[in-house]
Amino acid sequence: MKLLLDFFPILLFFGAFKLYDIYVATGVLMAGTVLQMAIIWFTTRRLEPMQKATLVLILLFGSLTLALHDDRFIKWKPTALYGAMALALAVAYWGFRKNFLQVMLGKQLQLPDRIWTHLNVAWIGYCVFMATVNGYVAMYFSTDAWVNFKLWGYAFPIAFLIAQGLYISPHLKSDDTPAA
């Protein structure tokens, strides 16, 4: 159910784009994201910082797209989001010696500090990569090609998350105690 909720707005966006155009799809994306965040809020009574940032950027870039009738704004939203994430993780770690991933996930995952550092650097690299790829597709390809990239480009985060899971799995501390 959570996976469906995560992909809900992008699937609605893709469907609206195929049936109508980028402007209808942008409005649908905005409404779908507001609905998605409302469902998350009512079930958990909180939104994570990334969810808040995503909502604000979708509403901001979506509003600019619709008000100015210029699809470049919605196409550059992912680049802005990934760029901001990379910058925040990098400045927090190298500027303030804070590992945001460890701060946010440290209660759920018990990992050595060295592994948290590797994950943080990997996330910075991943976000820079995704910002760059999205910017390239947004700049040099048609809107139709960009929308297809957004749908099929979900292979990148899935592959990244699988690789991350494989990397951390040997370092996870087990809650099980060995039988005597």
At residue 105, the pLDDT reads: 84
User: Using 50, 70 and 90 to split pLDDT, how confident is the model at 176?
Assistant: low
Contact partners, residue 30, CB within 8 Å, separation at least 6: 58, 59, 62, 63
Same domain, 52 and 87: no
* Position 76 in a domain: yes
At residue 3, the pLDDT reads: 64
* Domain span holding position 63: 1-69
Q: Across 36-136, where does the E strand assignment appear?
A: none
> For residue 117, is pLDDT > 70?
yes
Q: How far is C-alpha 131 from the chain's CA centre?
A: 11
The tokens describing 118, both together, are: 């590797």
Q: Is 4 or 87 the better-scoring residue by pLDDT?
A: 87
CB neighbourhood size of 75 (10 A): 24
Same domain, 77 and 166: yes
* Position 91 in a domain: yes
Same domain, 98 and 46: no
Q: Is 177 or 69 the better-scoring residue by pLDDT?
A: 69
Same domain, 89 and 122: yes
pTM of the model: 0.85
Provide mean pLDDT across the span 53-74. 95
> For residue 4, is pLDDT > 80?
no
Same domain, 44 and 118: no
90 contacts 124 by C-beta, under 8 angstroms: yes
CA dihedral 22, 19, 134, 97 (to 10 degrees): 90
Question: DSSP secondary-structure letter at 106?
Answer: T
Provide mean pLDDT across the span 58-79. 96
Q: How many residues does the chain have?
A: 180
At residue 97, the pLDDT reads: 95
By C-alpha distance, which of 106, 157, 165, 151 is closest to 130? 157
